[in-house]
Amino acid sequence: MACRISELVLECRDPEALARFWCEVLDYVVLGDEGDGSLEIGPREGFGGPQPTIVLSRHDTPQPGKSRLHVDVNATDRDQDAELARLLALGARRADVGQTGDESWHVLADPEGNEFCLLRARLDPL
């Protein structure tokens, strides 16, 4: 038997703002308040399903420097260009990490600067 990723933890200054952003991006909902200002978001079915939840952990000064982990997302109901426009309208911004311009993905940052990539492939919704 192997392990499975059940949740991701993201340190942030404003869990409520990031919850709004990531819930819109992923069609997630707020599942709970951790009691310390942190929020857990995830699929409507809750924790333990095929998709991991995300704990937005409140930290007044998140760890500085480049994160060694980032999230990749794929559109499920539109092409990459339409999804890029949607993500930018939600508050994402383009991020430059040294890409050449020939990549098949877009590097973006969420409202607090956490990098993530929008991949080209369209996936079936779960």
Give me the mean pLDDT over the 111-120 stretch.
Answer: 94
pLDDT at 26 over 70: yes
Convert the pLDDT of each residue in 74-88 to its tens digit.
999 999 999 999 999
Structure tokens at 63: 């760890």
Q: Do residues 38 and 58 lie in contact, with contact meaning Cβ atoms separated by under 8 Å?
A: yes
pLDDT at 121 over 70: yes
| Sequence spans of domains, the chain | 1-60, 69-126
Amino acid found at 23: C
What integer pLDDT is reported at residue 126 of this predicted model?
77
pLDDT at 1 over 70: no
The topology under which CATH files domain 1-60 is 2,3-Dihydroxybiphenyl 1,2-Dioxygenase; domain 1 (3.10.180)
On whether the 69-126 domain is CATH 3.10.180.10, my answer is yes
Convert the pLDDT of each residue in 46-70 to its tens digit.
988 899 999 999 998 877 777 778 8
Q: How many other C-beta atoms are found inside a 10 Å radius of the C-beta of residue 115?
A: 15
Helical packing angle, 80-90 and 15-26, nearest 10°: 160
Percent of the chain with pLDDT over 70: 99
> Model-level pTM greater than 0.85?
yes
Position with higher pLDDT, 66 vs 35 = 35
